Amino acid sequence: MLTKHNYTDVDSAKWDEKGLDCCKTTNPDNPTCVDCCYDSWQTELRIVTQKYSKAAEQATQYQNKLTVVTSSRSTYRKWFDEINDLQDTATEICNQLELLAVQSDKIWYNSCKAVDAVETLFCMIRDFFTQLDLITTQYADIQNCITNNTDPSLVKGQGILKALDDYKAKLDIVVKLRDDTSKNIVTAVKLVHQIANNISTRNCNENFDPCSKKNKACSGDDIYYGFKTVICEWYKSFACDVPCPDTDTTGTGTTGTTASAQTNTNTNTIQSDCKDDDDCELVPTLDLPICKSSYKQCVKKWYDKADGEYKELTGKLQDANKEKEALTACKNSLVKAIKAVDPKTRCN
């Protein structure tokens, strides 16, 4: 083994020039005990320490920025989620308002039919009592004729006179009902008209098909009053009839160049309306429908910006930590090496 692998001197030409230079130096304090590269390692340790301090400070700055950006990102995300929840609530309200509007049309239609029925009943009752007045007049004429007749066969309380007395008694009973019946039917006419008008003051004679699928919840520019109008005012206030933008990117909605042009126009408008978050002035004014609210788009823009900064700072922080860990390892290695070859301890 020894004859096969002979020890030979290291070729000085293959040495690193820096290593050669450092090995040529001597320690003035102890010229008899000098370790190769001790002084060079001391210099390298100072350089590595400076780089480590810089990397550590850079990592700390990235961490502080990341903490701020993370807080802003979480806040914007929370706002955006709350706006989406509010949008869902507004959609549910719109669905209920639409249901009320459609059902109120049907109730109004039925109330109009009730108006016709009650008015028909009123006419029948009025005609009945008109006929009753004529009967009463005819009875008075008959009674007057009998009073002026001196025929001895006509005895009061007997025969035809008794029948007339019975008829008059029953007629009086029916006549007494006229006042209460008339009052009640007039009240019924009043109430049924109030019900119809309280739902909507539109003319009941208008053509309306309650079963038609073309009926809209709230349509037309005519001015009416009543419950239906109140519902429709809320319906319009919530902009329930305004469709939300189509988020489908497969082309099932608006297609081609038109869709791109509309998207660019909306984006430019939103960008101009949004105040930058650096202004520290947020005005959460929501426009309806919320799905088209510029404020919602602004919050989305702020979140996207913070999310981009978060991802960028996360990457930079990872790189800075890697560099800091590498410099820490290098620094620790140099400290151990310098301690091991320190002439003050090794040569004593």
Dihedral sign of CA atoms 168, 171, 173, 176 in order: negative
The residue to which tokens 């016709």 are assigned: 116
Instruction: Provide the pLDDT for residue 204.
Output: 82
The answer to whether the CB of 279 falls within 8 A of the CB of 298 is: no
Task: Give me 156's structure tokens.
Answer: 């009061």
Q: What ranges do the domains of the chain cover?
A: 109-223
Instruction: Provide the pLDDT for residue 287.
Output: 79
Q: Where are the alpha helices (DSSP H) in the chain?
A: 17-23, 38-147, 159-199, 227-237, 256-273, 294-341, 343-346
Interatomic CA distance for residues 324 and 87, integer angstroms:
47
Burial string for 82-116 (b: 16+ CB within 10 Å, else e) reads ebeeebeebbeebeebbebbbebbebbbebbebbe
The answer to whether the CB of 284 falls within 8 A of the CB of 68 is: no
The residue to which tokens 């008209």 are assigned: 193
Spatial neighbors of 172 by CB under 8 A, at least 6 apart, are none
Q: 112: closest CA among 186, 185, 187, 194?
A: 194
The answer to whether the CB of 277 falls within 8 A of the CB of 304 is: no
Q: Count CB atoms within 10 A of the CB of residue 41.
A: 19
Instruction: Provide the pLDDT for residue 210.
Output: 79
Instruction: Provide the pLDDT for residue 220.
Output: 67
Terminal Cα distance for the chain, rounded: 37
The answer to whether the CB of 180 falls within 8 A of the CB of 173 is: no
pTM, 2 dp: 0.60
The answer to whether the CB of 109 falls within 8 A of the CB of 210 is: yes
The residue to which tokens 């009416």 are assigned: 224
Interatomic CA distance for residues 286 and 157, integer angstroms:
89
Cis peptide bond prior to 284, omega within 30° of 0: no
Task: Give me 164's structure tokens.
Answer: 């007339």
Task: Give me 256's structure tokens.
Answer: 């081609």
Per-residue pLDDT of the chain (348 residues; tens, 9 = 90+): 444 544 455 554 454 554 445 554 555 555 445 555 667 777 888 888 888 888 889 899 999 999 999 999 999 999 999 999 999 999 999 999 999 999 998 899 999 999 999 999 999 999 998 898 888 888 888 888 877 777 777 777 777 788 888 888 888 888 888 888 989 999 999 999 999 999 988 888 777 887 887 888 887 667 788 899 999 999 988 888 888 876 533 333 333 333 333 444 444 444 445 655 555 555 666 778 888 888 888 889 999 999 999 999 999 989 988 988 888 888 888 788 777 777 666 655
Interatomic CA distance for residues 215 and 81, integer angstroms:
35
Instruction: Provide the pLDDT for residue 281.
Output: 58
Instruction: Provide the pLDDT for residue 271.
Output: 47
The length of the chain, given as a count of residues: 348
The answer to whether the CB of 128 falls within 8 A of the CB of 174 is: no
